[in-house]
């Protein structure tokens, strides 16, 4: 039982950064981020074809967090996607998985890590992260960072971030973790999107450069702050997290090229008025664990909620003029008068109870229920307020059984409630409030421990939810039901004491059903969801060497429908990354030097932004990176 309690809220300590490596840190292939590195088949924007972030399935150290502001690497040390068997035993799981952030918590030692990195495309950063114990019960941590970001689609910006964290343990069984962070982005240029007026893709694929007018820039800032409390008393555990997340956009511009031919069209820029979104969220959790012979029981009571407010407005489109792909265009800055802003408010809370029973290496069963209440009020100036309410019961159940010490089978059923936000700005019914909808998921699979520290996981899943998109008249609405069935594979661990492997894949069959499909309004395949993805990452440390290692990463992305009628499909593509790392001493301090070639074969590909609208895939084009980390203390 002590192990179970430790897993609930581990006493984290700030980790220095020279040894950061996503491959060696990953427990599975479902999605891991450590520092500046990400690997896996999923991330916070894509799990089984859907976005946990958009669905509200984000946690900080396991507690509910309504993330509005951008992530801040000074605050968050790592994140993991909890899906499949990785979510078994997790308190109140959700369809499409959960993204769980770990804080960069200060420990009991004075530490300072300095990271500097640059690349051949112009990206560069300088980051400082540290910790300082004040006394035996209080430690202070935090950091500052500067970035010059260059993105695959031609966008770029300057970014600064800062964070402060405290770890206070006034008594041995009580831990309090307050934190504050801010991220500012300046001179932000969004790379162009491409909207063909026909069944074709833009060609040639544009270069990594900003081709829009100089005035098409933006800025924003994000603030995330709050506190966690962990308290244990015998078999009782109390956990509390209260968080505030804000995102403000004083100005923003989004350029897109309406293509008449594959390479020529009219450039438009959508300019949006100042906006502000903020959410106060959190969770109170009370847990009781007790043992009866070989059985361990765990009862969890949870109260979660969020209070979300948005102030935003309709964008104004400016026609800049004719443009050819890769042609820089100039135009005078327009004088814009924005309409009155829209006020949006969401109040949502859940009360839940979950019961778990487990016998080590034999059986684990979990059942739970939550009562959700959702209320949304949208006020468009000059119109009657829109009110949306729902109060469903959400049920979950899971079981894991051990056939042998090496083989376990598992299964689960999960229901969720997801806020769909508002309709996109490019719809004729832009900024219209969308109803919250329920989703449901069934899954089952097997985990086989091949070697000590190495496991193979295979999962089959079936996820269902309403399908929203733009119809042929550019009206954004529910078009039917979206079902995604698939098979996931994950192989991870230490094949030898000098070789770590993280490999995985997903083979799925996403389909749309309903009247819109029968009437030919929508195709059977949903827009922007791939049916195949495979990843292979390995870290090798040659024998006879000390501190030297090599990483190889291969990623296969299957094709994905780009148009509502499934006529246009983005082709499949493969990328390959390679790096060399060397740990050394600089002035007696531990350091790490990393040389990387990302996307070695210069693969350039597109991604779906919206129906019939395309941008660039992440990591588009080759780049060379050089990174130095020095740990002091």
Write down the mean pLDDT value for the chain: 92
Would you state the pLDDT for residue 4?
Answer: 35
Count of alpha carbons within 13 Å of 49, Cβ hemisphere only? 33
Q: Residues of the chain whose pLDDT is less than 50? A: 1-14
pLDDT tens digits along 607-629: 998 888 999 888 889 999 999 99
**What is the full DSSP assignment across 497-514?**
TTEEEEEEEEEEEEEEES
pLDDT at 516: 84
CA distance 623 to 600: 8
Structure tokens at 27: 């427990």
d(CA 191, CA 627): 26
Q: Which two tokens stand for residue 359?
A: 């016998």
Cα separation, 331 vs 309, in Å, equals 36
Asked if 305 contacts 350 with a C-beta cutoff of 8 angstroms, the reply is yes
pLDDT digits (tens, 9 = 90+) for 18-27: 999 999 999 9
For 48, counting Cβ atoms within 10 Å of its Cβ (0-12 exposed, 13-18 middle, 19+ buried), the class is buried
Given a contact cutoff of 8 angstroms between Cβ atoms, the answer to whether 393 and 373 are in contact is no
Give per-residue pLDDT as tens, 33-77.
998 899 999 998 899 988 888 788 899 999 999 999 988 899 999
CB 79 within 8 A of CB 72: no
Asked if residue 220 lies in contact with residue 248, where contact means CB atoms within 8 angstroms, the answer is: yes
Cβ-contact 23, 39 below 8 angstroms: yes
Task: Write down the number of H helices and E strands in the chain.
Answer: 4, 36
Instruction: Report pLDDT for 235.
Output: 92
The pLDDT of residue 117: 97
**Residues comprising the chain, all counted:** 633
Terminal CA-CA length for the chain: 35
Strand, coil or helix: 5: helix
Does residue 437 sit in helix, strand or coil? strand
């Amino acid at each position: 039982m002590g192990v179970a309690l430790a897993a609930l809220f581990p006493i984290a300590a700030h980790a220095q950064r020279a040894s950061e490596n996503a491959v060696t840190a990953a427990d599975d292939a479902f999605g891991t981020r450590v520092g500046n590195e990400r690997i896996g088949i999923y991330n916070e924007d894509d799990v089984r074809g859907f976005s946990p972030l958009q669905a509200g399935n984000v946690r900080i150290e396991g507690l509910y967090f309504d993330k509005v502001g951008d992530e801040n690497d000074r605050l968050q040390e790592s994140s993991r996607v909890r899906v499949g068997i990785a979510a078994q035993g997790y308190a109140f799981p959700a369809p499409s998985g959960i993204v769980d952030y770990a804080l960069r918590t200060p420990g009991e030692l004075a530490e300072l890590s300095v990271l500097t990195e640059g690349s051949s495309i112009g990206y560069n950063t300088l980051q400082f992260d540290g910790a300082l114990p004040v006394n035996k019960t209080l430690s202070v941590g935090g950091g500052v960072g500067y970035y010059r970001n260059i993105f695959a689609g031609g966008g770029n910006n300057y970014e600064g971030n800062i964070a402060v964290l405290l770890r206070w343990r006034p008594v041995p069984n009580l831990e309090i973790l307050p934190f504050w962070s801010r991220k500012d982005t300046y001179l932000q240029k969004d790379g162009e999107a491409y909207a063909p007026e026909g069944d074709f893709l833009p060609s040639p694929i544009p270069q990594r450069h900003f081709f829009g007018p100089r005035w098409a820039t933006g800025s924003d800032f994000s603030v995330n702050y709050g506190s966690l409390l962990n308290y244990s008393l015998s078999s009782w555990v109390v956990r509390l997290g209260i968080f505030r997340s804000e995102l403000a956009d004083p100005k923003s511009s989004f350029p897109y090229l309406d293509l008449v031919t594959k390479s020529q069209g009219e450039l438009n820029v959508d300019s949006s008025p100042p906006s502000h979104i903020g959410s106060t969220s959190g969770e109170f959790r009370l847990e009781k664990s007790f043992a009866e012979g070989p059985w361990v029981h765990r009862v969890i009571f949870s109260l979660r909620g969020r209070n979300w407010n948005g102030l935003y407005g309709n964008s104004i489109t400016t026609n800049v003029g004719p443009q050819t792909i890769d042609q820089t265009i100039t135009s005078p800055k327009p004088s814009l008068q924005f309409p009155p802003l829209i006020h949006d408010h969401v109040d949502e809370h859940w009360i839940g109870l979950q019961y778990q029973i487990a016998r080590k290496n034999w059986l684990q069963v979990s059942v739970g229920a939550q009562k959700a209440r959702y209320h949304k009020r949208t006020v468009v100036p000059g119109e009657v307020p829109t009110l949306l309410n729902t109060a469903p019961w959400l049920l979950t159940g899971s079981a894991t059984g051990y056939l042998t010490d090496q083989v376990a089978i598992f299964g689960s059923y999960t229901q969720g409630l997801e806020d769909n936000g508002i309709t996109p700005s490019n719809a004729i019914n832009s900024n219209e409030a969308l109803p919250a909808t329920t989703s449901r998921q069934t899954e089952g699979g097997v985990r086989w421990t091949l070697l000590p520290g190495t496991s193979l996981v295979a999962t089959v899943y079936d996820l269902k939810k309403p399908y929203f998109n733009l119809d042929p008249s550019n009206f954004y609405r529910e078009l039917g039901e979206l079902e995604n069935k698939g098979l996931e594979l994950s192989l991870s661990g230490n094949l030898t004491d000098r070789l770590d492997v993280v490999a995985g894949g997903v083979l799925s069959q996403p389909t749309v059903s309903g009247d819109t499909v029968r009437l030919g309004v929508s195709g059977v395949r949903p827009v922007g969801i791939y049916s195949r993805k495979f990843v292979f990452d390995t870290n090798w440390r040659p024998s006879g060497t000390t501190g030297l290692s090599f990483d190889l990463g291969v990623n296969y992305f299957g094709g994905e429908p780009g148009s509502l009628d499934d006529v246009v499909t983005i082709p499949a593509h493969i990328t390959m990354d390679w790096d060399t790392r060397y740990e050394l001493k600089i002035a007696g301090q531990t350091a790490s030097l990393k040389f990387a070639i990302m996307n070695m074969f210069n693969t350039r590909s597109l991604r779906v932004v919206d129906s019939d609208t395309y941008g660039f895939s992440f990591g588009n084009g080759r780049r060379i990176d050089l990174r130095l980390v020095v740990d002091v203390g």
